[in-house]
Amino acid sequence: MERNGGKTVIQLDVSRDKACVYAELAAFLDEAARAARTPLSGFRVGAAALGNSGRVYLGANQEFAALPLNFTVHAEQAAVTAARAGGETRLIALAVSAAPCGYCRQFLTELKAPLDIVLNGEARPLAEYLPHAFALESGGENLLTRAAVLKAAGLDELARAAAAHSYAPYTGTRSGLALRTASGRVYAGWLLESGAYNPSLTALQTALTLRALDGAADDPIAAAVSAETGPAPLAPLLPALLARIAPRAAIRTLPLND
């Protein structure tokens, strides 16, 4: 491991024997699971995604007691979200501490590239877990096509940048959300669509996930800015959702030009 900008960066040498690399990848699952937030189920799941760059991105399941169950973010989705926020453009493998559910298998097909699932010391292709995946043609874009490390001067600019990096090949919606916590930390999330629609993640879910993976889940949200356009907006629901988990947050919505 090495440190970059105060944050721990996990880097593996992917030129070595695959079995050894995958064993090292799986060794991070306990650490990943420690970031889980499970007020409803009490069931912690860790995931570790290995990028083509050799970097490892940790994810854990996120539950929100005040929100509907379908706002839960699974560990696999969290790890992919972390990889996307880190600028990774391709994943090689995903180690998990529990078998991926059908919902996650469908979400992972949006990577549109071979992916090994590492579970209990065994690596199997994602295609074996979901041999007859539902798929819609989306013009060649994949979940990591717009992966980028977002930087902006303020919440407005960050929300707009996040919206521009949405993965929405099915509805064309652009939706981004920027959060500022009470301590001043800032997080941005984007819409991530699934061809099956339901496994999609809203910009709020991805922003909250990145906040939790950064160890800031208990740092209250002070402000939120949404920027979006398209037929599947989050803005109409955002005040009600944030009122449950961040009742003191100041919320604004910015229009985007088509």
Parse the chain into domains and list their residue ranges.
2-129, 155-255
| Contacting residues for 47 by C-beta, under 8 A, at least 6 apart | 29, 32, 58, 59, 60, 75, 76, 78, 79, 94, 95, 96, 97
Catalytic residue among 76, 110, 193, 228: 76
pLDDT at 116: 98
| pLDDT, position 5 | 42
User: Looking at residue 7, what is its pLDDT?
Assistant: 64
Comparing C-alpha atoms, which of 46, 37, 44 is closest to residue 66?
Answer: 37
Q: Give every CB contact of residue 155 below 8 A, 6+ residues apart in sequence.
A: 178, 179, 180, 186, 223, 224, 225
**Per-residue three-class SS string for the chain:** CEEECCEEEEECCCCCCHHHHHHHHHCCHHHHHCCCECCCCCCCCEEEEEECCCEEEEEECECCCCCCHHHCECHHHHHHHHHHHCCCCCEEEEEECCCCCHHHHHHHHHHCCCCEEEECCEEEEHHHHCCCCCCCCCCCCCCCCCCCCCCCCCHHHHHHHHHHCCECCCCCCEEEEEEEECCCCEEEEECECCCCCCCCECHHHHHHHHHHHCCCCCCCEEEEEEEEECCCCCCCCHHHHHHHHCCCCEEEEEECCC
Contact 26, 95 (CB under 8 A): yes
Q: Classify domain 2-129 by CATH architecture.
A: 3-Layer(aba) Sandwich (3.40)
Instruction: Give whole-number Cα distances, 195 to 128, 149, 162, in Å.
Output: 19, 25, 20
The CATH class of the 155-255 domain is: alpha beta
Structure tokens, 100: 């991926």
Q: What is the dihedral of CA 241, 148, 58, 103, to 10 degrees?
A: 60
Binding residues for substrate: 61-63
Based on the residue annotation, tell me whether 157 is a catalytic residue of this protein. Answer: no
pTM metric for this prediction: 0.95
Residue 206, sorted as left (phi over 0), alpha (psi -120 to 50) or beta, turns out to be alpha
Binding residues: 61-63, 74, 101, 104
Q: How high is the pLDDT of residue 3? A: 37
- 10-residue averages of pLDDT along the chain (258 residues): 58 96 98 97 97 98 94 98 98 97 96 96 96 81 94 94 96 97 97 95 98 97 97 94 95 86
What pLDDT was estimated at residue 256? Answer: 87
Query: What is the spatial distance between Cα 125 and Cα 107, in angstroms, rounded to a whole number?
Result: 15
